Amino acid sequence: MSANATFCATLVDEWASAGLDVAVIAPGSRSTPLALALIAEPRITCHVVLDERSAAFMALGLAIDGRPTLVLCTSGTAAVNLHPAVVEAELSDVPLLVCTADRPPELRGVGAPQTIDQVDLFGRAVRWSTDAAVPDESDPASWRPMAATCLAAAVGAGGSRPGPVHLNLPFREPLVGAPGELPPAMEPAVESAAESRSAQEEALPDGLLSGRGLILVGGRHGCDPEGILNLAASLRWPVLADPTSGLRPEDSVVSTADAIVRSERFANAHRPDVVVRIGRPAASKVLSTWLSSIGCPVVQIGGPGRIDPDGNVVATATLDEALRSAGTPADPGWGESWTTADAAVLQVHSSSLSGPELDDPTVARTIARCADRLGGRVVVASSMPVRDLEWFGGPTAVAHSNRGANGIDGVVSTALGVAARGQVAVALVGDIAFVHDANALWAIADRDVDLRVVVVDNDGGGIFSFLPQADDPGGAVFERLFGTPHGADVVSLAESFGVATEVVDSVDELEAALSRPGPRVIRVPSDRLRNVAVHQRLHEAAVAVIDALDF
């Protein structure tokens, strides 16, 4: 019998009984007791991932719909590699159980190999953390309560925000052994955060939700879509939704807000009195800059934490509170002018992005259309791909993006986690994001997942070509620091992992490639300078058609 094995079997039994059904394990020696307990538990599906950073982002993808997921690694720098995903989970309210194996206290601070200070390793990026006692020194009666506390903190019990938790687990050798009798089971005590969170919100001032307003809907809002549309209907306000909101398929939703407010004539004539922001802000800098310049009050509903970079959030509320506080509706012409402009821009985009040749905006629109037809889930990188999907994806664009920290790391691994939940997953990434996270493809052929990765390959950081750095300093300095051509062959890289690949040059070829099951990598050659010109032409065409409207 082994105290390590009994302790870990107890934790796993408690978590599985409370609904934890999946774990991602990064191989290592010190984590052996918990890894063996997880593999032995039939209620938990285990995925083994070689790279710790990739493992953590895969766990993030498995957990983005609110189902807690465990990620386990060994001691030392392995634990540090989990940090980027932990940060994203914290900012996106994703329930991760982060378990790091550690050396026992007597081996810390004495130069023992593969030993670093792991206590509170992730700082304020976790909802709760503990450095557990070594199993053979701890009271078995405390094991189940600790496991329950860990899971409760992750899912946001008691009205708190869900998010990552850190359980640091020191083990003494021997690391293998059979579990003994487990402590008695506890009664389930995990409470849904939604049951009590409303009591923490502020009351809305009387008359605030009146007049001409906008409803902006972004990702991670956690609200009922029908309730959002009911609020919009009662106020006669337009809904400006980005792809991460999940609302784009609705006919009444404006999907081209970035293009619309690029028209100075329209923007000046349609300054809102108040904005209700549900979830995260959109990726569009044009939209956010315009709203910031107006300085109107913002009411925040849903979303991960308080988001107030401009200091203009005057209240936070639940959707129900907003519905109860809805005041005098706007004139019908207010919302109609937005939907008319949206229809005009959509027509421009439909005619301009129909192919046959591929450019970056056309890739985004094609993926949105094909994924909708396939019933697949799109995961998009937080650089140009998320913007192209937001600006040009159209009404069918629905996606997840790691917009908590807006990093490009771990995008393919996040999509792998989505696919591992049994969904068709389509990842839209640039070449740098793909190369950065290529380890997600390790052993993918053995995972029974349908992941289709589209790599827009312009040999560098395409988003920087839209920034002032492209002109100042420009030239060779710009290329070295920002353009960063890497020369990697993404097709050969994918094939080195045994993944099927295709190179496509037309809309028809991309649609055909997307129709074939994964895992597969689809490369779309692109050119950074041409891409800037394409975007400029589309923006100018949209502004021209809006300026020609009578409003």
d(CA 44, CA 170): 23
Q: Kindly report the CATH number assigned to the domain that includes residue 280.
A: 3.40.50.1220
User: What is the overall mean pLDDT for the chain?
Assistant: 93
pLDDT of residue 354: 86
Question: Residue 205 has what pLDDT?
Answer: 84
Decide if pLDDT at 197 tops 70.
Answer: no
Q: Is the domain of 420 the same as that of 523? A: yes
Q: Rounded to an integer, what distance in angstroms lies between the CA atom of residue 301 and that of residue 306?
A: 9
Distance, CA of 423 to CA of 489 (rounded, Å): 28
423 in any annotated domain: yes
Percent of the chain, pLDDT > 90? 86
pLDDT higher than 50, residue 307: yes
Q: Say yes or no to pLDDT of 270 above 80.
A: yes
In a domain, 179, yes or no: no
Task: State the average pLDDT over residues 141-155.
Answer: 96
Q: Would you say residue 122 lies in a domain?
A: yes
Helix (H) or strand (E) holding 497: none
- Asked, for residue 199, whether it belongs to a domain, the answer is no
β-pair partners for 100: 73, 168
Q: What is the pLDDT at residue 231?
A: 96
Q: Pick from 46, 45, 37: which is nearest to 8 by CA?
A: 37
Classify burial at 242, counting beta carbons within 10 Å of its beta carbon; exposed 0-12, middle 13-18, buried 19 or more: buried
Q: E strands within 228-322?
A: 239-241, 253-254, 274-278, 298-301, 313-317
For the cut 90, the answer to whether the pLDDT of residue 399 exceeds it is yes
Is 466 inside any structural domain? yes
Q: Which range has the worst mean pLDDT, 179-193, 296-310, 518-532?
A: 179-193
Could you tell me which residue, 544 or 195, shows the higher pLDDT?
Answer: 544
Instruction: Please give the average per-residue pLDDT across 418-435, as a whole number.
Output: 97
CATH number of the CATH domain containing 526: 3.40.50.970
Q: Indicate whether 226 and 364 sit together in one domain.
A: no
Quick one: which of 473, 472, 477, 479 has its CA closest to 528?
A: 479
- Residue 189: pLDDT band (50, 70, 90) is low
Whether 201 has a pLDDT exceeding 70, the answer reads no
Give the CA angle between residues 522, 524, 526 to the nearest 5°.
160
Nearest CA to 127 out of 78, 165, 182, 169 is that of 165
372 shares its domain with 477: yes
Domain boundary among 334, 363, 395: 334
Asked if 281 and 409 sit in the same domain, the reply is no
357 and 329 within one domain: no
Shared domain check, 362 and 287: no
Q: Does the bond joining 113 to the residue before it have cis omega, within 30 degrees of 0?
A: no
pLDDT for position 190:
44
pLDDT of 202 reads 55
Which of 25, 67, 46, 9 is CA-nearest to residue 190?
67
Residue 483 lies in a domain: yes
Mean pLDDT over 460-471 rounds to 87
Range 85-103 average pLDDT: 97
Q: How many separate domains does the chain show?
A: 3
Question: Quick one: pLDDT band at residue 345, thresholds 50, 70, 90?
Answer: very high
- What's the pLDDT score for residue 194? 42
Q: Say if residue 377 is in the same domain as residue 486.
A: yes
Q: Does the pLDDT value for residue 409 go beyond 50?
A: yes
CB contact at 8 A, 267 and 261: yes
Last residue of a domain, one of 290, 305, 334: 334
pLDDT in tens, 487-506: 999 999 999 999 999 999 99
Where do runs of H (alpha helix) occur along 143-284? 143-155, 225-235, 257-260, 264-269
pLDDT at 1 over 80: no
Structural domain harbouring 522 = 353-545
CA distance 38 to 24: 10
pLDDT at position 187 over 60 = yes
Do 112 and 209 lie in one domain? The reply is no
Contacts 24+ apart (CB under 8 A), 146-149: 146/11, 147/10, 147/11, 147/14, 147/15, 148/14, 148/18, 148/186, 148/189, 148/190
Question: N- to C-terminal Cα distance for the chain?
Answer: 79
The answer as to whether 189 is a domain residue is no
Residue 215's beta-bridge partner residues?
A: 239, 276
Task: Kindly give, in sequence order, each residue whose CB lies less than 8 Å from that of residue 82, ignoring residues fewer than 6 positions away.
Answer: 52, 53, 55, 56, 71, 73, 98, 100, 122
Which H or E run contains 402? none
Same domain, 156 and 219: no
Reply yes or no: is the peptide bond before residue 183 cis, omega within 30 of 0: no
State whether 420 and 516 are in the same domain. yes
The CA distances from residue 83 to 165, 410, 434, 495, in Å, are 12, 11, 19, 29
- pLDDT of 424 > 60? The answer is yes
Cis status, amide bond into 519, omega within 30 of 0: yes
For the segment 346-372, the average pLDDT, to the nearest whole number, is 94
Residues 9 and 80 reside in one and the same domain: yes
Statement: residue 92 has pLDDT above 50: yes
Does 499 lie in the same domain as 373?
yes
Burial of residue 66, with CB atoms counted within 10 A of its CB: 0-12 exposed, 13-18 middle, 19 or more buried: middle
- Integer Cα distance of 183 and 161 in angstroms: 30
Among 334, 365, 392, which residue terminates a domain? 334
Residue 380 counted as domain residue: yes
Using 50, 70 and 90 to split pLDDT, how confident is the model at 203? low
Mean pLDDT to the nearest integer, 223-231: 95
Share of the chain above pLDDT 70, in %: 97
pLDDT of amino acid 96 = 98
pLDDT tens digits along 6-38:
999 999 999 999 999 999 999 999 999 999 999
CA–CA distance from 536 to each of 210, 266, 361, 473 (Å)?
36, 19, 11, 21
384 compared with 201, residue with greater pLDDT: 384
